[in-house]
Amino acid sequence: MKRMLLLVVVLAVVFTLVACVPSQPAAPAEPAETEAAQAEQPAAEAAKTYEDLTIGFIQTGSEGGWRAANTASFKETAEQLGINLKFYDAQNKLENQVSAFHQFNQDKDVDVIILAALETTGWEEVLKEAQEAGKVVVLEDRRIDAPDDLYVTYIGSDFAEEGRKAAVEMCELLKDSEKKIVWELVGNVGSSAAKDRGQGFREKMGECGIEITKSQTGNWSITEGKQVTEAWLKETKDVQGIFAQNDEMGLGAIEALKEAGLVPGEDVKVLSVDATAGAFKAMLDGDLNVTVECNPLLAPQVYEAALKAVNGESLPKWVPSQEGVFRATDANLQEIADGRKY
Ligand code: GYE
């Protein structure tokens, strides 16, 4: 009994002691950020939205179906997204593009500058100026030769791959032809589209023995494509294929062949690039054999990239477009043509 009593007393003493000994002092609380201190903190800048953006867009000009679709893509998508778009049509003059770029650099409202470059060179000065002015620069459609730290990204086609595809298709079209003489209608001199398509075609044409005997710019237009082909046909009719770097020049060549008494698509195979509505009609009429697609509907991708860049996200330097090839021999060609947006 005594022992039990003693035990209870001891336990009571222990508990009292424990209760009285202060626990480990907690780490001193961070001084409560005074509201004032919090107020001093620059508010984490809210991410910008499309409605916050003013974009200066420098277009090449309005040289044909592809360009019209490209321009419409940017104007319509800007409207849908609530972007304030300052659209500039350079009427296919490089000097107009450069001066517009300068103006957008000086324009305090402009956050982003989008450029479809007429030529690959001559951009470093305005790009450096844009960098100093804190402008985000995005290239669409055409690449340029400039250090890629001077722009955030380029969204456009692999023109060299389009050229390679064109050569493979022309080889197929001429597989039963002993002679494989090809004439090339080139886009505007100095543009990445013209340079790269020509280079890509030449990379592959040797595989079937194609020989390019005539090559000249038709400046992407039906009229000039026709005039250049007419001049060549006055010299000789010894040609088996025409490689037109865009549909419009191909349609011009078709008119010239017909007026020279030749049957386009048969006597002379005709292949073009873009896959616009005009090309589908010419294929359905049997005048054009093949068109290699080049996608003009780039606005959604470009605006998305611009917004990401404005909000500090880093982007891949090139986002190539996904594209196909269409042939006059495609079974459901009419159906495809009916489903096209441009
Ligand atoms: O092929 C042509 C337009 O840059 C991809 O420019 C574009 C080219 C297109 O004039 O039709």
**Segments of the chain assigned E as strands:** 54-59, 84-89, 112-115, 136-140, 153-156, 181-186, 211-217, 241-244, 269-274, 290-293, 318-320, 325-327
The answer, yes or no, to whether residue 45 has pLDDT greater than 80, is no
Q: Which atom of ligand 1 is nearest to the CA of 276?
A: 11
**Confidence category of residue 9, pLDDT binned at 50, 70, 90:** confident
CA of 118 relative to ligand 1 center, distance in Å: 10
Q: What is the pTM of this model?
A: 0.85
Sign for the CA dihedral angle at 232, 233, 237, 243 comes to: positive
Contacts of residue 328, defined as CB under 8 A and 6 or more positions apart, other chains included, come to 265, 283, 284, 286, 288, 289, 290
C-alpha 127/C-alpha 137 separation (Å) is 8
The answer, yes or no, to whether residue 29 has pLDDT greater than 70, is no
C-alpha 257/C-alpha 226 separation (Å) is 9
**Confidence category of residue 67, pLDDT binned at 50, 70, 90:** very high
Average pLDDT over residues 196-204: 98
Predicted local distance difference test score (pLDDT) of residue 319: 80
Q: Report whether residue 220 contacts ligand 1, using a CB cutoff of 6 Å.
A: yes
C-alpha 161/C-alpha 159 separation (Å) is 5
Q: Report whether residue 66 contacts ligand 1, using a CB cutoff of 6 Å.
A: yes
Q: Which residues of 296-308 are buried (b: 16+ CB within 10 A; e: fewer)?
A: bbbbebbbbbbbb
Which residue matches tokens 């060299």? Answer: 160
Predicted local distance difference test score (pLDDT) of residue 31: 54
CA of 93 relative to ligand 1 center, distance in Å: 15
Predicted local distance difference test score (pLDDT) of residue 33: 57
Average pLDDT over residues 196-225: 98
C-alpha 83/C-alpha 100 separation (Å) is 19
C-alpha 229/C-alpha 265 separation (Å) is 15
Cα 286 to chain centroid, rounded: 31
Average pLDDT over residues 261-272: 98
Mutate to test the pocket of ligand 1, among 74, 294, 298, 323 (most ligand atoms within 8 A of CB): 294
Percent of the chain with pLDDT over 90: 84
Q: Whose CA is nearest to atom 8 of ligand 1?
A: 193
Mutate to test the pocket of ligand 1, among 142, 224, 274, 276 (most ligand atoms within 8 A of CB): 274
Q: Report whether residue 197 contacts ligand 1, using a CB cutoff of 6 Å.
A: no
CA of 198 relative to ligand 1 center, distance in Å: 13
Contacts of residue 101, defined as CB under 8 A and 6 or more positions apart, other chains included, come to 58, 113, 115, 123, 126, 130
End-to-end Cα, the chain, rounded Å: 104
